[in-house]
Amino acid sequence: MKKRILALFLAGVMTFTMASAEAFATTPGELTTDTETEEMIPEKENAADTAEDVSLGDGNTGAAEEMFSDMSEPLELPEELAPRMVPEETKPEEETELPEDWAPPVGGMEQPKVIELPEGAADSLDTVDLTENADGELLYRSKVLGSQQYSSPWDIYSSNYIYNRLNENERTFWDALDIVSLKYLTGTWNAQLLLKDEDGNYYGPGEMIVYERLGISKERMSELFMLFTYSNPQYYFLGEGALLGTSNTGEGFMVPVIYEAFANGTARAAETARVKAQIDAMEAQIAAGTTELEKIQIAHDLIIRKVMYDHGINLDNPEASQTQNPYHQSAYSVFATDYTVCAGYTKAFTLLVNGAGIDAISVTSYNHAWNLVSINDSWYQIDCTWDDMDGEYGRDLMYGYFNRSTAMITGALDQQGSHRMEAYYNGMVPVCTQDSGATADSIGSYVTPTAQTAAPVITQQYTDDKVAVTLTSATPGAEIYYTIDSAVPSSSATRCFYYRGTFTAKPDTVINAVAVCDTLWDSGITTARAETKTYTVKFDTGGGSKVSAQQVTAGKKVKKPSNPKRKKYTFEGWYTSKKYKTKWDFSKKVTKNMTLYAKWKKVSVKKVTISKVTNVSGKKMKVTLKKVSGAKGYEIRYATNSKMKSSRRVTATSTGKTIKNLKKGKTYYVQARAYKKDSRGNKVYGSWSKKKTVAIQK
């Protein structure tokens, strides 16, 4: 279910009326075909007179009869699902059968072109800015693209379902495409003419995306580009392929093609405004729906009544094509012209329904495009193209392909395998097990879940300096989506991660997770903060000054504290036990609670010996001491009496000291002692030496 706030919703209660084709007729402009718009678009009820008759040859011609006769009743659900759901009532309508030979159009979906650029093309292009993250991986700079942040108001029209299931490098490539495309959607940059050949002119942005730098092959790049354009129909100006080349570093790069008509920035801005006005007008009518189902039906009907299928397209022989406009692979063909093919129907539906706050996805087969849409948190398949009758058999539209199961749309309702998705959709789209049982005249019946998917359980286990996170749901078959930036997770509405197995998160990361399961309501959101185990490191100072304990994250290092202080002791370091056998290495990681013990050494100072005391000219004496190991200095005292009363004291930092200002004719008694400093920085003295005498005669 969408969590979007729609700026498009109109205040007040609106009365829904289905608009005719004229209500959304194209305003003639630069980008219409040579035929005047009024002449080009016939009335829908008369379309059968002008539309080309399409025959499928060996197609399943019995599917139409089965659709319009045997399907008036909804399909029976598996017995085990019945208790979960309550049917919604729909108004029965009078059935109108179609001829058995009715066949829908196929072959309108064009595979993206891959066009090689000449050597040296990279010289004129900038590279989308790359940066390197802490793990050394190259990532495209995409600060505007958070896991759920919208890059712009236009992003409400996109689907994130496939994006959420990509790996990191593929998501990075996708983000780079988004950055470049958004720049040209919201700005007036001129596209560059990058190639001219016999097929025409090829324009593209001035930036290249070096996909090989991300470890993406050319084949996978082409698939991702296809998925991107169908998931982001708001970028209507993107053409039918990509230009490829080799960068100056020898790596493959791509540049998305921009339709020539949209290359000029000013002209493109005008067309963007015209497209947006048409979108807003249609969204206003969709907003009149009071339920998801009503809004989906309105979007379905609006698109079908707005356009006609362009039967002039011939992708097998482009030269023989007599298409009504060149934009049939873009949603532009729906919003700004009145002819399109399956690609246009599909992209327009994705855009409008997502814009209305309902999840929708575009998917393709080898020759066709259609949609998946979410109703009551379960998914259905829907094909607007094949529901558009264009006035054939006296009707504008039908509902035979409205909200069908995968089994039905690829089985009894299929034609030539047109609804069998390309292989690269495997594991990328939701299951569609429910079927509306819709018929030509009825949208069928639906079920409302009576149970909810079990909310994810977040389990954490610390490993090294990260947290291993495991997500589980008690609901069998549930899928889990999560974010790691406090954002709201969902399967499609927001950018997040699809859970594939245990992942690592940094400490303090906020993890949000939601579980989804077909036929059930989505779960509530489970939130947890990634926590690591912490250990307490205590410091026993053994009589010294106090040192506070530290809380240390497992696998981290304890910070070495300032040395404690103790009177008449020196600090010898921190040890792991009171036996002081192992000194703690502060470069080691903490792996448990522990106490470190301060080792002390009592300050001991030996008695100094005075080697000699001599009279020096000028009423001075020089005292010479024998060095005491470890002493920081010496204190010398002298007096004229042997009891050392009223003695004077001087300090020496070496073993020689000259004392001045003595009295001539006097005899002086001299003593000395060494000192060291304790852990507080205070002096600790040794004993006084024996006295020496000296007579001052000169």
pLDDT digits (tens, 9 = 90+) for 539-555: 999 999 999 999 998 87
403 pLDDT above the threshold of 50: yes
Residue 682 has pLDDT above 80, yes or no: yes
Secondary structure of 562-629 in HEC code, one letter for each residue: CCCCCCCEEEEEEECCCCCCCECCCCCECCCCEEEEEEEEECCCCCCCEEEEEEECCCEEEEEECCCC
Question: In 3-state terms, what secondary structure has residue 169?
Answer: helix
pLDDT, position 13: 27
Span 228-256, pLDDT tens digits? 999 999 999 998 799 999 998 899 999 99
Confidence tier at 320 by pLDDT (50, 70, 90)? low
The distance from CA 429 to its chain's CA centroid, rounded to whole angstroms, is: 19
Question: What per-residue confidence (pLDDT) applies to 45?
Answer: 39
Q: How confident is the model at residue 317 (pLDDT cuts 50, 70, 90)?
A: low
For residue 420, pLDDT beyond 90: yes
> Helices in 68-138 by DSSP H: which ranges?
none
Architecture in CATH of 610-695: Sandwich (2.60)
Q: Is the pLDDT of residue 480 over 50?
A: yes
pTM: 0.70
Model pLDDT for residues 505-535, shown as the tens digit of each residue = 988 899 999 999 999 999 999 999 988 788 9
Residue 51 has pLDDT above 80, yes or no: no
| Residue 53 confidence class, pLDDT cut points 50, 70, 90 | very low
- Predicted pLDDT of residue 599: 97
Query: What integer pLDDT is reported at residue 98 of this predicted model?
Result: 58
Output the 3-class SS for 422-474: CHHHCCCCCCCCCCCCCCCCCCCCEEEECCECCCCEEEEEEECCEEEEEEECC
Q: What is the DSSP letter of 387?
A: H
Task: Render the burial of 350-380: b for 16+ CB within 10 Å, e for the rest.
Answer: bbbbbbbbbbbbbbbbebbbbbbbbbbbbbb
* Confidence band, pLDDT 50/70/90 cuts, at residue 151: low
> What's the pLDDT at 461?
87
What pLDDT is stored for residue 68 in this prediction? Answer: 41
Q: In this model, does residue 132 exceed pLDDT 60?
A: no
Cα angle 41, 47, 52 (rounded to 5 degrees) comes to 100
- Pairing verdict, β 497-498 and 667-677: unpaired
pLDDT at 621 over 80: yes
pLDDT tens digit sequence for 555-610: 789 999 999 999 999 999 999 999 999 999 999 999 899 999 999 999 999 999 99
CB 448 within 8 A of CB 377: no
Per DSSP, 521 falls in state: B
Residue 97: pLDDT band (50, 70, 90) is low
Within the chain, which residue ranges are assigned CATH 2.60.40.4270? 534-602
Asked if 361 and 227 count as a contact pair (C-beta separation under 8 A), the reply is no
Single out the residue of 308, 518, 504, 490 nearest to residue 392, CA to CA. 308
CATH topology of domain 457-529: Immunoglobulin-like (2.60.40)
CATH class of 534-602: mainly beta
pLDDT at 77: 30
Under 8 Å CB-to-CB from 545, ≥6 apart: which residues? 564, 565, 566
> What is the pLDDT at residue 105?
84
- Residue-level pLDDT at 153: 87
Whole-number pLDDT of residue 627: 96
Q: Is the pLDDT of residue 65 over 70?
A: no
Q: What are the start-end ranges of the H helices in 88-217?
A: 168-186
Mean pLDDT score, 99-103: 72
Question: Mean pLDDT score of the chain, rounded to an integer?
Answer: 84
What is the average per-residue pLDDT within 193-198? 90
Q: Percentage of the chain surpassing pLDDT 90? A: 69
Is pLDDT at 662 greater than 90 in this prediction?
A: yes
Whole-number percent of the chain with pLDDT over 70: 81
- For residue 649, count CB atoms less than 10 angstroms from its CB and return exposed for 0-12, middle for 13-18, buried for 19 or more: exposed
So what's the pLDDT on residue 39?
30
**Residue 162 pLDDT greater than 60, yes or no:** yes
Q: Flag whether pLDDT at 80 surpasses 50.
A: no
Greatest mean pLDDT among 114-123, 143-152, 350-359 lies in: 350-359
Least confident residue range of 55-69, 449-463, 646-660: 55-69
